A and B are shown apart, each in its own frame.
Chain A
Amino acid sequence: QSALTQPASVSGSPGQSITISCTGTSSDVGTYNLVSWYQQHPGKAPKLLIYEDIKWPSGVSDRFSGSKSGNTASLTISGLQAEDEADYYCCSYAGRATYVFGTGTKVTVL
């Protein structure tokens, strides 16, 4: 149950696009189409952004999009806004009803 690997930080200017990677293994990300992404502002609970690798829950902006290739999932934030400054976590099903989170990425809007 090793954490998925994410970059510690990513930054961008307002209006730009940024991408956060989430690297796992063939035992989790690479096998199951069950990667979800969460946004967490300081002192707040996580909020679901993407599920099943690429799907949006209702109410989430389509500026957030998910993708996956092999053992690496990615979250892209388009049209970066000040309110997007937060921590982002990926999460993957890892088999046998277990889950694993990513190490987390701090997004800074310059």
Chain B
Amino acid sequence: QVQLVESGGGVVQPGTSLTLSCAASGLAFSSFGMHWVRQAPGKGLEWVSLISYDGSGKTYADSVKGRFTISRDNSKNTLYLQMNSLSAEDTAVYYCAKYETTGGYCDHWGQGTLVTVSS
């Protein structure tokens, strides 16, 4: 079965950087686009970023554009999110999700990793 496992979260200071990973198994990883979606404590879901199956296409929410970079290593079945210039507003659980391009939906999600930005 499809498994997505995020890692790399933790407590960091404002202005610093952090890289999240999402290890995928049980699917042909290189055939699917992938999303990052976040959820601040007690708040709703927020789309963060999308990468195409081969990494050639990347899009970002305005709130993270210029600070976050999505990437993938299909040889390692792993998705990444590099986050720079972090602020308290980036505190959230970050989920990776498998993207079904034709239907525009996420049919498999990881369990999430918590990023806390605090001094």
Give A contacts to B, CB under 8 Å: 1, 3, 32, 34, 36, 38, 40, 45-48, 51-52, 55, 57, 87, 89, 91, 93, 96-104
Among B13-21, B80-88, B97-105, the stretch in contact with A: B97-105
Residues of B within 8 A of A (CB): 35, 37, 44-47, 50, 57, 59, 61-63, 95, 97, 100, 103-107, 109-112
A51 and B103 form a contact (CB under 8 A): yes
Majority-rule SS of B interface residues: strand
With A1-B61, A45-B95 known as contacts, the answer to whether A89 contacts B105 (CB < 8 A) is: no
Which of A48, A89, A104 gathers most chain B CB within 10 Å? Answer: A48
Q: Are A91 and B107 in contact (CB under 8 A)?
A: no
List the 5 closest A-B pairs by CB distance, nearest first. A34-B104, A104-B44, A36-B105, A51-B105, A45-B109
Known A-B contacts: A101-B44, A101-B45. Give 6 more (CB < 8 A): A45-B95, A45-B111, A46-B37, A51-B103, A51-B107, A52-B105
Kindly count the residue-residue contacts between A and B in the assembled complex, taking CB atoms under 8 Å apart: 71
Cβ contacts under 8 Å, A97 to chain B: 50, 57, 59
* Chain A residues with CB under 8 A of B63: 1
Q: Which of A40, A91, A96, A98 contacts B105 (CB 8 A)?
A: A91
Assess the A32–B45 pair: CB atoms within 8 A: no
| B47 contacts A98, C-beta separation under 8 Å | yes
Q: How far is the CB of A61 from chain B (nearest CB, A)?
A: 16
